[in-house]
Amino acid sequence: MKFEPTIGLEIHAELKTKTKMFCECLNDPLEKRPNLNLCPICLGHPGTLPLMNKEAVRLVLTLGAALGAKLADDSRFDRKNYFYPDLPKGYQISQYLHPLVSAGVLKLPSGKEVRITRVHLEEDAARNVHDNDSKATLVDFNRAGVPLMELVTEPDMKSAAEAVEFAEELQLILRYLGISDADMEKGQMRVEANVSIAPADELGNGFSKLGTKVEVKNINSFRAVGRAIDFEINRQAEAIGRGEKIKQETRGWDDAHQKTVSQRSKEEAHDYRYFPEPDLPPLKLSEVPEFAPEILKAELPELPLAKRERFREEYGVEGEKLEIFIHDKKLSEFFESVVSEAERWIDKVPKEKIISLAVNYITSDLVGLLKELALSIENLEMSPENFGELIKMSALGEISSRGAKDILRIMTERGGDPTEIAIQEGQLQTSETGSLEGIVKRVIDANPKALEDYKKGKEASLQFLIGQAMREAKNQKIGANPQILKEIFQKISK
Ligand code: ADP
Ligand code: ZN
Ligand code: MG
């Protein structure tokens, strides 16, 4: 029998707010010292009252706007009751029946559209740290009460690859919107995958019947998302092949052994006894002017999908090179400044030439150099202006492509003007002999004695004259090759 997989994702992301969800403690997910950012509210002391973080609400609504989703007019928080050492209150403030965002769509780069069921806001739990030496479990409350969003998709994905594509695209969107750094390795973004399989002829026949789903947790990289889903698809197909029934359960991804292991079955599932959070007022979102959907939409920056289209159209970039720009905002800003710099000498080099050289030098050479030198584009000494100049020199054949690479390395390391570097490094291939002759004549006029000495056979005097001419050329921003200067001096002094 042929089976078709179905995947739905539940993705949590820590929001990038200044303070926690319901108190004024710092929201600092990178804080290394345990139990520094805490107070009676996020420690769940009796008698304390939560105070809502408006910025967190705005961030989730912004994501909703980006997903073309329905933004709630009215919303509220609910208590999700369960006991665990990392949950000091004994309940998590979450949203159950009235999420901030519902019914959206995320369009993937492949063109596939995945429906978004909902996005809601809640608070993160503390972090349990298992200490091997003492065999104790320690609790770090820095994370307790950090604003957390949860996005739930419809079961619209058909393969591990699609699920990974979805998670990666969502990460990009979260970063573009400044909602979350969404780093999976740091736990800022957590993906849970619901996986089922069903006989192909039962799906897509208008009477689709999905198979029993298994939820996979503890996935902490994009690679693991793909592997966990593929593992689950195979495991389920093999089980069905043996005549077994898939039971609804939660499994965990064991990265060390590259497999999923059963954690709990449906029967053991929690009853969270949700009820409306009595300590927080209902959210009358339609009464907050800055939360109006038109306003949130108008404030959206250019999103990855639109940027891809624009880069394809304006610059003809595709594939991996395009994705480098899409994934690195600063690098693409640098590229676009280089292109606009290049408008100034458009009469000398055609725009398409500039664009294709800039794309190639940035996505391969510069990206490689940044990695090698552990530098980031924001803190470079090299300006887009200087980089553009380098490209122009390369386009005009003033330097070889090997030379351009060497000069680029120097500029990446310490900035500087490419013409000057080319002169110092003897990389200029051609020099405008006419203007160099003018310089040489002036240097000779100013140093008649040196010329006499050279004519009498004093080599050092020629070196002196060349040095003077180099200095003069540099002042005039003329690329001068010392070898060519030498030839001109020899010719003139004959
Ligand atoms: P639960 O009530 O168990 O939480 P939901 O209906 O809320 O289940 O769905 C949770 C997630 O599981 C969603 O992302 C949804 O798309 C996905 N899902 C639901 N049914 C299936 C299925 N049969 N196969 C794969 N994913 C599913
Ligand atoms: Zn606090
Ligand atoms: Mg559910």
Which residues fall within 8 angstroms of residue 157, CB to CB, at 6 or more apart? 6, 7, 8, 9, 112, 114, 163, 166
478 lines ligand 1 (CB under 6 A): no
Selected residue with higher pLDDT from 430 and 115? 115
Model confidence over 147-160: pLDDT tens digits?
999 999 999 999 99
Give the confidence band of 434 by pLDDT, cuts at 50, 70, 90.
low
Which residues fall within 8 angstroms of residue 76, CB to CB, at 6 or more apart? 95, 97, 98, 276, 277, 280, 282, 283
Give the confidence band of 486 by pLDDT, cuts at 50, 70, 90.
confident
Q: What's the average model confidence in pLDDT over 252-270?
A: 92
Q: How far, in Å, from the CA of 171 to the mean position of ligand 1?
A: 21
Ligand at minimal distance from the CA of 213 is 1
Q: Is the pLDDT confidence value at 363 over 60?
A: yes
Give the confidence band of 99 by pLDDT, cuts at 50, 70, 90.
very high
Ligand at minimal distance from the CA of 250 is 1
| Domain residue limits, the chain | 3-298, 304-427, 430-492
Q: Of 16-20, 200-204, 324-328, 461-465, where does mean pLDDT reach its minimum?
A: 200-204
8 lines ligand 1 (CB under 6 A): yes
Q: Is the pLDDT confidence value at 430 over 60?
A: no
Q: Of 148-162, 209-223, 231-245, 434-448, where does mean pLDDT reach its minimum?
A: 434-448
Q: Of 107-121, 381-395, 424-438, where does mean pLDDT reach its minimum?
A: 424-438
Percent of the chain with pLDDT over 90: 77
Query: What pLDDT is attached to residue 308?
Result: 98
Model confidence over 217-232: pLDDT tens digits?
999 999 999 999 999 9
CATH 1.10.10.410 fits 430-492, yes or no: yes
Give the confidence band of 334 by pLDDT, cuts at 50, 70, 90.
very high
Report residue 43: phi and psi, to 5°: -90, -5
Q: Which amino acid is residue 286, in one-letter code?
A: S
Give the confidence band of 457 by pLDDT, cuts at 50, 70, 90.
confident
Q: How far, in Å, from the CA of 76 to the mean position of ligand 2?
A: 21
Ligand at minimal distance from the CA of 42 is 2
Work out the burial of residue 230: count CB atoms within 10 Å of its CB; fewer than 13 is exposed, 13-18 middle, 19 or more buried: middle
Q: How far, in Å, from the CA of 61 to the mean position of ligand 3?
A: 20
Q: How far, in Å, from the CA of 123 to the mean position of ligand 3?
A: 17
233 lines ligand 1 (CB under 6 A): no
Query: What pLDDT is attached to residue 398?
Result: 85
184 lines ligand 1 (CB under 6 A): no
**Which residue CA neighbors atom 15 of ligand 1 most closely?**
8
153 lines ligand 1 (CB under 6 A): yes
Selected residue with higher pLDDT from 447 and 428? 447
Q: Is the pLDDT confidence value at 134 over 80?
A: yes
Pairing of strands 214-219, 3-14: unpaired
Q: Is the pLDDT confidence value at 207 over 60?
A: no
Query: What pLDDT is attached to residue 494?
Result: 73
What angle, 0 to 180 degrees and rounded to 10, lies between the N-to-C axes of helices 160-176 and 222-241? 150
Model confidence over 376-422: pLDDT tens digits?
998 899 999 999 999 998 888 788 888 899 999 999 999 999 999 98
Work out the burial of residue 414: count CB atoms within 10 Å of its CB; fewer than 13 is exposed, 13-18 middle, 19 or more buried: exposed
The neighbour count for residue 444, using CB atoms within 10 Å, is 18
Q: What's the average model confidence in pLDDT over 192-218?
A: 85
Percent of the chain with pLDDT over 70: 97
Half-sphere exposure in the Cβ direction for 29 (13 Å, CA): 20
Task: Choose which residue among 10, 194, 250 to substitute to test ligand 1 binding: the one with the highest number of ligand atoms within 8 A of its C-beta.
Answer: 194
6 lines ligand 1 (CB under 6 A): yes
Ligand at minimal distance from the CA of 50 is 2
Closest ligand 1 atom to 156 CA: 16
Side by side, which strands form the sheet with 101-107? 70-71, 101-107, 113-123, 147-153, 3-14, 189-199, 214-219, 249-254, 259-265
Distance from CA of residue 202 to its chain's centroid?
Answer: 39
Query: What pLDDT is attached to residue 204?
Result: 61
420 lines ligand 1 (CB under 6 A): no
Report residue 278: phi and psi, to 5°: -75, -15
Nearest Cα residue to 431 out of 392, 380, 397: 397
Q: Is the pLDDT confidence value at 479 over 80?
A: no
Q: What's the average model confidence in pLDDT over 163-186?
A: 97
Q: Is the pLDDT confidence value at 201 over 80?
A: no
**Rounded Cα distance, 162 and 112, in Å:** 8
Taking CA 331 as the corner, what is the angle to CA 325 and CA 333, rounded to the nearest 5 degrees?
95
Q: Is the pTM of this model over 0.95?
A: no
**Rounded Cα distance, 106 and 173, in Å:** 10
Query: What pLDDT is attached to residue 484?
Result: 80
155 lines ligand 1 (CB under 6 A): yes
Q: How far, in Å, from the CA of 11 to the mean position of ligand 3?
A: 12
Q: Is the pLDDT confidence value at 471 over 90?
A: no
Q: What's the average model confidence in pLDDT over 23-27?
A: 98
Query: What pLDDT is attached to residue 433?
Result: 60
Q: Is the pLDDT confidence value at 205 over 60?
A: no
Model confidence over 177-200: pLDDT tens digits?
999 999 999 999 999 999 999 988
Would residue 218 be called left, alpha or beta, if left means φ above 0 and alpha means ψ between -120 and 50 degrees? left
Which residues fall within 8 angstroms of residue 219, CB to CB, at 6 or more apart? 190, 191, 192, 193, 225, 228, 253
